[in-house]
Amino acid sequence: MRAYLPDYQARSAKDLKDALKVLSGEPGLWKPLAGATDLMVLFAAGKLPRGRYLNIRGLKELRGIGVTKDFVSLGALTTYTEIRGHSVLMKEFPNLCAAARETGAIAIQNRGTIGGNIANASPAADSPPALLVYDAEIELVSSKGARWVPYAGFHLAYKKMVMRPDELIRAVRLPRRAEKFAHFYRKIGTRRAQAISKVCFSGKARLEKNGRRFLDARIAVGSVAPIPLRCLRTEAAIVSRDLDARVIANARKIFLQEISPIDDIRSTRDYRAAVAGNVFEQFIQETAGL
């Protein structure tokens, strides 16, 4: 059953200053919306909580992709379509572009935003594992000022973040690396398109020249824990080691200890664990050329 429209209050912010004034004036009472790709689904199903919604889609201060020598910065309102079509992102951050391609249908990619995907805080979202692998930083802004936080510490628990009620995400910053990495991204869902992930895996690795050892490796997963998860212990288990069957088997065991999948409407704990382990081994085999 569709929600009852008069139960909601909505307004559009004139600019960023106006948006922050509204949020600081009544902290926690206003929920920002931009693409509204998740909110409208809840509204149509009659499950959207009653409340006040602040439209920030028109804020120019939250748009644009900027490239400098050290960083690529994405405004919070950058869409998936803009991400997947950006030449520098495609070359240097292909996992993020792959995540953008995997997110919903073309209509969703045209409206959905990177800031919204982060703030929605779903552990099944497609872009967070890529952001973790690329050491993303998040700029949070309020009427009191701005601050940068590592994305690795942004999510505290299921649907809980370090972002305060009076703050907005203004931008996402990705540090550019001189080293050459192999990149790997896989999303497992019920269908090959327009499906919420059962397992979402992002990884990158740097292999020693003419060898079978990783000099560096980054691994992050979604849909297998209450928050998007960076697997630090697993990374340590495969870096600077000969990638033989024993090492890979031990690393898979550690990987499965780091994740905590659950049974839900989309999948089972056992299925997620088995598939996640298989994708982890596929990551090693493909990036190391085994």
Answer whether 61-175 and 182-288 agree in fold. Answer: no
For residue 152, pLDDT over 80 is answered with yes
* The residue type at 9: Q
Would you say 185 and 115 are in contact if contact means Cβ atoms under 8 Å apart?
Answer: no
**Cα–Cα dist 78/240, whole Å:** 37
- Res 243: pLDDT: 92
182-288 belongs to which homologous superfamily?
Answer: CO dehydrogenase flavoprotein, C-terminal domain (3.30.390.50)
Supply the pTM of this predicted model: 0.93
State what percent of residues in the chain have pLDDT above 70.
97
**86 compared with 47, residue with greater pLDDT:** 86
Buried b (16+ CB within 10 A) or exposed e, 41-77: eebeeeebeeeebbebbebebbbebeeeeeebbbbbb
**Cα–Cα dist 145/242, whole Å:** 48
pLDDT single digits (tens) 188-206 = 988 766 778 899 999 999 9
User: What average pLDDT does this structure show over 149-155?
Assistant: 97
By CB neighbour count within 10 A (0-12 exposed, 13-18 middle, 19+ buried), where does 179 fall?
exposed
User: What average pLDDT does this structure show over 239-265?
Assistant: 94
- Domain 61-175: which CATH class? alpha beta
Neighbours of 40 (CB within 10 A): 13
Please name the helix (run of DSSP H) or strand (run of DSSP E) that holds residue 249, with its range, or none: helix 245-258
Domain extent listing, the chain: 5-54, 61-175, 182-288
Cα dihedral 216/92/98/67 (nearest 10): 130
239: its two tokens: 């870096």
pLDDT single digits (tens) 90-113 = 999 999 999 999 988 888 888 899
